[in-house]
Amino acid sequence: MKKYYCTALLIVFALTSYGQKSPKTKVIAHRGAWKNTSQPQNSLGALNAAIKMGCFASECDIWMTADSVLVVNHDPHFYEMPIETTSYASLLKVKYPNGESIATLEQFLAVITKQKATRLVLDVKPSKISKERSIVTAQKSYAAVVAAKAKKIVDFILFDYDACLALEKLDSKANIAYLLGDRTPEQVEKDGLWGIDYNNKLFEKNGNWITDARQRKLTVNVWTVNEQAMAQSFIDQGVDYITTDEPEMVLKMVTPNK
């Protein structure tokens, strides 16, 4: 009887433990996989390199041109041309060293929807012109994702909290995370967002935010982590995502046999 009792306990333990392991940290290529691939940041080449590498996601930065075209670039200027006051046709006159032109969000979505393994993270940049333009850029980005039938494979991250809330109002089920770091996990949860996506220094300064966010069922992403010791520290703390310029390094850390 005792033998059967012990066996039953083991079965119960196995069933209750199933699926309760700590989630494995996933790797997001910051501006694509560019640093060790000789591809320009935020280029289609960098996006394709991140997909080929097996990254969980590739992050890119979105601006709106003077004629309302959504383009992918980190800085507000593209080769000294201010994106928000320059036409898309004018931006096309300058090319990256690899021969590519500045990419549009539509082109990025066309690439990402041809496969299912790697997600696309849209960092919708806050406008230098006005708050209203920031919100419009976010709304147009969402509309482009819907038009491309890419909602299931795209996440949104934003520095402008009002733009976050505008997107959440459009679609409460969309994956929307806040970037700036001046909101506590409690506030982000209250406003119905998906997660926090903060710089590593903010998590080091606010030591309880990772635990607090996880208890509130918010996703936690940390950026930009390029050192092995720092990456290991955040992996040990159980963050959901690490955004990095060194995706090859962090991939090996979270998937040793890769």
List CB contacts of 149: < 8 A, sequence separation 6 or more: 113
* Dist. CA 158–CA 15, nearest whole Å: 40
Task: Tell me which residue of 256, 253, 250, 258 sits closest to 28, measured CA to CA.
Answer: 250
What are the structure tokens assigned to 185, written together? 């996990």
For residue 111, tell me if it sits in a domain. Answer: yes
Return the pLDDT at 2: 42
Return the pLDDT at 23: 57
What are the structure tokens assigned to 46, written together? 């960098």
Q: Is 20 helix (H, G, I), strand (E, B) or coil?
A: coil
Return the pLDDT at 169: 98
For residue 15, tell me if it sits in a domain. Answer: no
- CB-CB neighbours of 124 under 10 Å: 29
Looking at the DSSP bridge assignments, the partners of residue 155 are: 121
Is the CB of residue 105 less than 8 Å from the CB of residue 146? no
User: For residue 250, what is the domain's CATH number?
Assistant: 3.20.20.190
pLDDT in tens, 41-51: 999 999 999 99
DSSP state of 104: B
Quote the domain boundaries for residue 31. 20-254
Phi-psi region of 149 (alpha: psi -120 to 50; beta: other; left: phi over 0): left
For residue 3, tell me if it sits in a domain. Answer: no
- CB-CB neighbours of 22 under 10 Å: 10
What are the structure tokens assigned to 207, written together? 């030591």
Return the pLDDT at 227: 98
Q: What phi and psi values does residue 243 have, to the nearest 5 degrees?
A: -95, 130
Return the pLDDT at 4: 45
For residue 132, tell me if it sits in a domain. Answer: yes
For residue 109, tell me if it sits in a domain. Answer: yes
For residue 157, tell me if it sits in a domain. Answer: yes
For residue 225, tell me if it sits in a domain. Answer: yes
Q: Is 256 helix (H, G, I), strand (E, B) or coil?
A: coil
The pTM of the whole model exceeds 0.75: yes
Residue type at position 24? K
Return the pLDDT at 14: 37
Altogether, the residues listed in the chain come to a count of 258
For residue 92, tell me if it sits in a domain. Answer: yes
DSSP state of 73: -
Q: How many domains does the chain have?
A: 1
Task: Tell me which residue of 151, 159, 101 sits closest to 125, measured CA to CA.
Answer: 159
* Dist. CA 84–CA 104, nearest whole Å: 14
Q: Dump strand ranges (E) for the chain.
A: 26-29, 57-64, 70-72, 77-78, 81-82, 119-124, 154-158, 176-178, 195-199, 219-223, 241-244
Q: Which residues of the chain have pLDDT under 70?
A: 1-23, 257-258
